[in-house]
Amino acid sequence: MDVARSLRLVLSLVVVALLVGAVSAASETRTTFFAPAQCSGPSLSAALSGSLRVSDVASYGCEDGWAYLWATVGNGEEAVGVTEVLHFSEAVDAWRVSSRLKVCKPGVMPTYIYRQGCFSN
């Protein structure tokens, strides 16, 4: 009788584990996959247009169609550090700079991008 109870207990635990796995898989969020070329210093830097070009990339990251870029624009005495928040445009297959005044609000973008892109210079 002890073997039967032990077997039932083990089977019950297996069923519970499978149910928990099924529920958590159903509630997963999907992360947009970017090819390495799409989430790279050069591809993010290309979104910055203007007279001063990116001369150095200190850090960057991408998640769910959003990115942050810590970079230096310009050279010599004209060099200045910038932090940009970008959004991927599937229509043109390229990154676009987003106005931090408009998008730096909780819940607009992934938390990682929000923290890295919205709380720096």
Whether residue 23 is predicted with pLDDT greater than 70 in this model: the reply is no
How do residues 36-79 score in pLDDT, each as one tens digit? 568 999 999 999 988 879 999 999 999 999 999 999 999 999 89
Whether residue 86 is predicted with pLDDT greater than 70 in this model: the reply is yes
Domain span at residue 88 reads 41-118
What pairs with residue 85 in β-bridges? 68, 98
- 50 and 18 part of one domain: no
Lowest mean pLDDT among 12-16, 23-27, 45-49, 112-116: 23-27
Please give the pLDDT value at position 38: 85
For residues 83 and 121, the answer to whether their CB atoms sit within 8 Å is yes
Question: What are the phi and psi torsion angles at 22 (to 5°)?
Answer: -65, -40
DSSP designation for 53 = P
- 74 and 102 part of one domain: yes
Residue 77 counted as domain residue: yes
The tally of domains found in the chain comes to 2
Please give the pLDDT value at position 96: 95
- Which distant-in-sequence residues (6+ apart) come within 8 Å of 57 by Cβ? 41, 44, 45, 69, 70, 71, 72
Distance set, CA 67 to CA 6, 11, 18, 88, 108 (Å): 52, 45, 35, 8, 12
Q: How confident is the model at residue 29 (pLDDT cuts 50, 70, 90)?
A: very low
- 21 and 50 part of one domain: no
Residue 114 counted as domain residue: yes
Please give the pLDDT value at position 73: 95
- 97 and 65 part of one domain: yes
The half-sphere exposure of 98 on its side-chain side, counting CA atoms within 13 A, is: 24
Share of the chain above pLDDT 90, in %: 57
The CA distance from 13 to 6, in Å, is: 11
